Chains A and B, each alone.
Chain A
């Protein structure tokens, strides 16, 4: 480890720890927490979708399972939803095992469609299984803490865990295996990589982190219903757009994308009222058309354009 590789994370950690003392109002703190939630969820998706190349359109399933694990503990056993933070990730991971075994038989668009269908099945089952889940009525709890500060630090810890996991995984042998599977699955297999097993190694931590985020979401927002936490458009697809905007297969892609997404969402909502999703949709189209690898992925390109330098000799964009 060189000094430089520690520098950026340390600075970011210090800034993140001090930030809530500079922004004391509940509103900016809420925004920070939402950014952290999306950053964690995005990091989880990025591990599977960005590095291993298995584009999942059903990550809401794990987010929702985490959230409902916490909610149902309270509903049926009357114990604190915080225990869901322990249970939720494991439920999500346990469910991910059969899902992975089924879906990893499929490739590319077929895999995407299978995960999309699974995510929708979870939403429909949790909506219709009224006896067990209260259906569309959702689950409402009382917030534990009166201020945002404890939530902020918990969210920060979860995000830190996600970043740590991601970095450990992608800088190990596993990371190279993931990328090789993404770039050419047949070649990877012919080199002796058991691709299904290594896809699982990307999938399980991803589901675990998504479940953890979901359980935290339950505790923080204090209300869930199937249409929110299992949403195809607002969770499964949005997390892909967030990572896409920030930078696929880039450790900072998810946090940057999350910050852009939440910030834009708030700004657009203030300026444009009901047209905020429209503006966001237009922005998504523009980003994909002009920055196909996201903000972090095209950083070199952006810098060159901004400072009007000549393009570097051999495609200097970070990949």
Chain B
């Protein structure tokens, strides 16, 4: 029983951090209506920035995060402003052009990282990396718990931002109906730029929180892109609350799969859930609460 409890708690903690990455993606998806395949690569860039801060100045990953986030905000804004927004007006046969552009961006970011840092596995070892505490006879990792609570704090701040500020409201308006928002005087292109920036900054935050737990190498981005997608679809595009539930579901499913089936098949568990949701609940969890 304690194994089961530990597995579930571990899944919830991990899922909370995944959720933070996925919220970044779901924001972008909600506003832009595009699939951002570069999202995992942005997580990876954020992780490397935090890693460099740790290596060269000895900054704790949780402090390095505060450098990585504004940096990624800027990178995200630039990508949106000078690349993706340019494509909106272009006439092409397939609407998936923007998706492919994000693939190109992903390639460029991944390969830049490979050029600078080589393909070596790197890790950050802090004093608390492998420390745990016990609840009953379940051992729970401290960096996971800290990461989970920081992720939840960010999610709450984002929620306040989206519901209480003018800018947040214009982001939600653009996501609901871009044209209507423009008629109401929202500067939609500027909103998309800021949204992409915020989404990237959240990706960086998620990456930094996971840095003490994961090995870091340039291709790690693919892993996070896949997870963020699954969560986004589970939760419903553009829904912050949905992303949290999606994140927790994926975290628990993966962790149960790893404990009770096998480590190798744990990703299959996530993908199968993803397909089932896609087929039988296409709106994600969001559509359940609307009824």
Contact = CB atoms under 8 A, between A and B. Distances in A.
Contacts of B222: 232-233
A113 B278 contact: yes
Given A127-B264, A128-B265, A289-B86, A284 B107 contact: yes
Given A106-B282, A109-B35, A112-B35, A124 B265 contact: yes
A125 B268 CA distance: 8
B87 interface: yes
B225 to A, nearest CB: 10
Contact of B274 (A117, A232, A241): A117
Interface stretch (B44-52, B110-118, B147-155, B177-185): B110-118
B69 interface: no
Interface string B233-260: 1000000000000000000000000000
A118 B114 CA distance: 28
Given A114-B275, A284-B107, A288-B104, A248 B83 contact: no
Interface stretch (B55-63, B95-103, B125-133, B134-142): B95-103
Contacts of A55: 94, 96, 99
Interface string A96-117: 0000001001101110111011
A284 B103 CA distance: 9
Nearest to A280: B107
Interface stretch (A72-80, A164-172, A213-221, A271-279): A271-279
B108 interface: yes
Interface bin, chain A: 35 or more
A225 interface: no
A118 B264 CA distance: 16
A128 B262 contact: yes
A280 B105 CA distance: 11
Interface in A22-73: 49-50, 53, 55
B166 interface: no
Nearest to A286: B104
B186 interface: no
A232 B226 CA distance: 11
A283 B106 CA distance: 13
Interface residues of B, number: 46
A282 B108 contact: yes
Contact of A289 (B34, B87, B94, B107): B87
A213 B230 CA distance: 30
B265 A288 contact: no
Interface in A165-185: 182
Contacts of B282: 106, 110
Contact of B96 (A112, A274, A282): A112
Given A121-B272, A275-B111, A278-B112, A112 B94 contact: no
A274 B265 CA distance: 32
A204 interface: no
Nearest to B108: A281
Contacts of B271: 117, 120-121, 124
Contacts of B264: 124, 127-128
B48 to A, nearest CB: 15
B268 A292 contact: no
B244 to A, nearest CB: 20
A127 B96 CA distance: 30
A133 interface: no
B32 to A, nearest CB: 11
A22 B105 CA distance: 39
A224 interface: no
A240 B97 CA distance: 10
A240 B279 CA distance: 24
A50 B94 contact: yes
A105 to B, nearest CB: 7
Interface in A237-261: 237, 240-241, 244, 248-249
A129 to B, nearest CB: 9
B94 A113 contact: no
Contact of A292 (B97, B226, B262, B267): B97
Contacts of B103: 237, 240-241, 284
B101 A110 contact: no
B90 interface: yes
A113 B35 contact: yes
B1 interface: no
Given A102-B275, A112-B99, 16 more contacts: A49-B94, A105-B279, A114-B279, A120-B267, A124-B271, A237-B37, A280-B107, A281-B110, A282-B104, A284-B100, A288-B87, A288-B97, A289-B83, A289-B87, A292-B91, A292-B92
23 contacts: A50-B93, A53-B94, A55-B99, A106-B279, A106-B282, A109-B33, A113-B233, A116-B229, A117-B271, A117-B275, A121-B268, A128-B262, A240-B100, A277-B114, A278-B108, A281-B108, A282-B104, A284-B100, A284-B107, A288-B100, A288-B104, A292-B87, A293-B93
